[in-house]
Amino acid sequence: MAVKKIFVVGAGLMGGGITQVAATAGYKVTMRDISDEAVNKGLDAIKWSVEKFASKGKITEEVAAQAIENITPATSMDAASDADLVIEAVFENLELKQNVFKELDGITPKDAVLATNTSVISITKIASVTQRPEKVVGMHFFSPVPMMKLCEVVRGLLTTDETVSVATEFAEKIGKTPVVVQKDVAGFIANRIGLALSGTAIRLVEMGVATPEDVDKIMKLGFGHPMGPCETADMTGIDILHNAMVAIFDETKDPKYWPPELLQRMVTAGLIGRKAGKGFYDYSSGEQKSYWEL
């Protein structure tokens, strides 16, 4: 199956990032969100990003300009009527994603592949509301999408080899390195490993063993991680991390995925990371600063 037209549902951080890399690779992309305001905000972020890439010599000015030309904004789901590949990037909520996929199933061509950018939700559950579960696949991109190379391609219980192949080839063509997850397990590969590590790190902070800064130093200097678990949690969003851990725990009942009490309290207090100006670090000055004391 030749993929030419892409439809992205969501113009936020993930949807905008996916749109950017696909458009930069030369694909025609329609980016849809629920309002003109949301779509325009996403477009502005993409324009800023591609211009920054061009200023650093990562892409040419011509490629940057063409990437913007390749993007068509939309607020109606009907714009997916001629899409070859749809990538959904809405909030991590099963009911919301199922509603999106049910609607897309009735609009898109019958041979179109429907992909979800979920990081923890079962592909099989999302696919169950469609009449084409064999054409539903997970494409878990990592944030920030233009910078991060990995893409987990996740096979649902009924996903065919052909669908996996379409998603894998597309990921490669937009500059990503795909890893195929052969079984639809909660959290897939990356979050089954990463969230167990994050939970352990946060519990050490909670116990007063070390500050977030010291935990991050250990993982960066001792294990070669580019970012520590507390920095990563702030970038991802403490609330998103919390919800992802709950989602895996609900499926597995494995206690190591139950969110630490500290994480729950931070969500309640609004200390949810960079987007709020404060999480494990303080970002209110525009820079990441340590403030945690034991």
The SS3 call for residue 73 is strand
Decide the pairing of beta strands 113-116 and 28-32. unpaired
Residue 119 bears catalytic tag: yes
Annotation says 285 is catalytic: no
**152 tagged catalytic:** yes
Q: Which of 88, 152, 213, 231 is catalytic?
A: 152
Q: Are the C-beta atoms of 42 and 31 separated by less than 8 Å?
A: yes
Find the catalytic residue in 140, 198, 213, 242. 140
| 3-state SS class at 146 | coil
Exactly one of 191, 198, 213, 242 is catalytic; name it.
Answer: 191
Q: Hey, what are 285's tokens? A: 């000055």
User: 117, 119, 122, 198: which one is catalytic?
Assistant: 119
Query: Cα–Cα distance between 119 and 241 in angstroms, integer?
Result: 10
Alpha-carbon distance of 269 to 263, in angstroms, equals: 10
Burial (CB count <10 Å: 0-12, 13-18, 19+), residue 247: buried
* Residue 231 falls in the annotated catalytic set: no
Cα–Cα distance measured from residue 90 to residue 84, given in angstroms and rounded to the nearest whole number = 19
Question: Which residues are part of the catalytic machinery?
Answer: 119, 140, 152, 191
